[in-house]
Amino acid sequence: MKLKKIGLFFIFLILAAGLAFAEYYLLTNTANKPQYQLIIVAKQDIPAGAQITLDKLSVARVDVRTPVHAATTRKQILGRYALYDIKAGEPIIPEHLTDLSIDTLANGMKLTAVRIDPVPYDFINIGDEIELGCVIQDKTLSWRVRVIQVYDANFRDIRSVKEQLQQTNAQQAPALMIGYLAVAGDDATIKTLKSAEKQGTLFVIKEK
């Protein structure tokens, strides 16, 4: 009887050890096994203002643990227009595109996205004509542009961020500020504006 109990004890011990090993094996293999998601990237260089078409797209595989805000379906981006130059291989982010074409604006107008000295979210509206300024070599230069889209400091569409904040406690929500603008202007304006952005901080002078 005593030998029988000892035998059962060893059987249970072996089973427990086997289960523990199996659990460890599954956990380590699951943890180490890479998990990927497919995102849409630019197959070629896409200049600002160009329409997103199927021939310009490709797919890339990224680790799901890597935070990427790129499009995952063609429906999110096809037919829309780039707000800035997208290099081949770069992820295409829906929030960095617009539905407004150059032809809708005016002949010869260009689109671009620029970083600005932050202003309150209700200070600028889509469609406004504003003046952007920049101090370069002690001189204040300015450019008149039309606002196409507005973004927060993390380059997220301000409208979607505003909706998220409205669902939170207003006292706990941080102040919503505009940190980037998508703007339209003539070719010379956009070129000098982008050059100025590299040399100093753009700021809103006044709203027209």
Contact of 151 with 178, CB cutoff 8 Å: yes
CA 176/CA 153 separation, integer angstroms: 9
Q: Classify 34-99 by CATH class.
A: alpha beta
Measure Cα distances from 175 to 61, 152, 196 in Å: 36, 11, 28
| Of residues 43, 105, 96, 31, the one with CA closest to residue 70 | 96
Confidence at residue 35, expressed as pLDDT on a 0 to 100 scale: 80
- The CA-CA-CA angle for residues 187, 82, 162, to 5°, reads 110
Query: SS3 for 141?
Result: strand
Residue 91: alpha-carbon gap to chain centroid: 9
Contact of 183 with 147, CB cutoff 8 Å: yes
User: pTM for the complete prediction?
Assistant: 0.62
Q: pLDDT by residue (tens digit) across 75-89?
A: 889 998 888 789 999
CA 52/CA 109 separation, integer angstroms: 18
Q: Would you list the domain boundaries of the chain?
A: 1-32, 34-99, 105-208
Residue type, 172: Q
Checking if the pLDDT of 51 tops 70, the result is: yes
Confidence at residue 56, expressed as pLDDT on a 0 to 100 scale: 93
Query: SS3 for 13?
Result: helix
Confidence at residue 143, expressed as pLDDT on a 0 to 100 scale: 94
Would you place residue 25 in the very low, low, confident or very high pLDDT band (cuts 50, 70, 90)? Answer: low
Look at the alpha carbons of 63, 64, 67, 71 in this order and tell me if their dihedral is positive or negative: positive
DSSP alpha helices (H): ranges in 36-157?
102-105
CB atoms within 10 A of CB 142: 16
DSSP alpha helices (H): ranges in the chain?
2-32, 102-105, 158-166, 187-199
Would you place residue 94 in the very low, low, confident or very high pLDDT band (cuts 50, 70, 90)? Answer: confident
Residue 192: alpha-carbon gap to chain centroid: 25
Q: pLDDT by residue (tens digit) across 114-130?
A: 999 999 988 888 888 99
